[in-house]
Structure 1
Amino acid sequence: MSKPKYEFGQFFWSDLTVPDATSLKDFYAEVAGWQIQEVAMNDNGEKYNDFAMMINNETPVSGVCNQRGVNKNIPPQWIMYINVESVSESLNKALKLGGKLLLESKKADGSYNFVIIQDPAGAVFGLGTVK
């Protein structure tokens, strides 16, 4: 049996949310040597692009996202996502311990794709599951 790509408890993704991702994507492409792939977005009929940042034009490593649509309430910052076994269980623990839910994304069956939480000190992070 092969080892999973990401262990539970490990950071598995990062997104940068900013007011204008279009003007900032080239900065990170140049600084980090990433390539840019457009990701079509739609906010109530208004179309725009977020950006997947790639290594060797094939391996996605990060996102540079506009602070609009589902991301409109996320403060401008890098958000690291932690791989957890159960998003709902980890979210409930975070809320019980003083965390604040900022954003949730659910699948059609009602289970979570991911959540973004603010910890009691004000730091923001995401929880998701990658197996």
Structure 2
Amino acid sequence: MSDDTAGTIAGFDLTVQDANGVRDFYADVVGWKPEPLSMGDYDDYMMLAQDGNPVAGICHARSGNADLPPQWIVYVAVDDLPASLARVVEKGGEVVRQPTGPGPGGFALIKDPAGAVLALIQNSRTG
């Protein structure tokens, strides 16, 4: 989940109301080990594979994440988030959620012309 080369999948997150219950579900079903990630007054979770490598995130639907849909969201790295969002609209897609912030790690949710949701995230090489 750490490669953020443009065009590559940079990560997967699931944002839900009951992050602790869903965390335990995936730990039991697929064997992921949860690693707490402090969000201040609560923890989200980086889910680790058996070898200790991060494979996904499970997050609480709180604060800035409260409006995210309860589905697995794939994050694809881009070199220029504003330019990519402009192309989304030009090509018949929709920006569902505006960028969370400028620079590396800022992301936006889009829908492609078929209605599929994806997140575009500004990579750290060009942000």
TM-score by length of 2: 0.80
CA contact (8 A) 2:97 2:110 kept: yes
Corresponding residue for 2:78? 84
TM-superposition CA deviations, 1:92-131 (whole Å, max 9, x none): 111233312314221xxx4362222233333211112255
User: Are the counterparts in 1 of residues 85 and 95 from structure 2 also a CA contact under 8 Å?
Assistant: no
| Percent of matched pairs sharing the same residue | 36
Q: Could you tell me how far apart the structure 2 residues matched to 1:121 and 1:19 are?
A: 27
Using a 3 Å threshold, how does the CA distance of structure 1 residues 87 and 75 change in structure 2: closer, same or farther?
same
Q: Is it true that 1:52 corresponds to 2:46 in the alignment?
A: yes
Q: Which amino acid aligns with 2:86?
A: N
1:30 aligned partner: 28
Alignment gaps of 5+ in structure 2: none
Length-normalised TM-score, structure 1:
0.78
What residue in structure 2 maps to residue 125 of structure 1?
A: 118
Q: Distance in 1 between matches of 2:37 and 2:66?
A: 17
Higher strand share goes to which structure?
1
5+ long unaligned stretches in structure 1? none
Which residue identity is paired with 1:94?
V
Do the aligned partners of 2:103 and 2:124 also contact (CA within 8 Å) in 1? no
Q: Distance in 2 between matches of 1:35 and 1:63?
A: 11
Superposition RMSD in Å:
2.3
**Does structure 2 conserve the Cα–Cα contact (< 8 Å) formed by 1:102 and 1:118?**
no
Residue 108 of structure 2 is matched in structure 1 by 115
Following TM superposition, by how much is the alpha carbon of 1:37 offset from its aligned partner in structure 2, in angstroms?
Answer: 0.9
1:6: how far off?
A: 5.2
- How many residues are treated as equivalent by the alignment? 121
Tell me, in whole angstroms, the C-alpha distance in 2 between the residues paired with 1:119 and 1:70.
23
Contact map agreement 1:17 1:78 (CA 8 A) in 2: yes
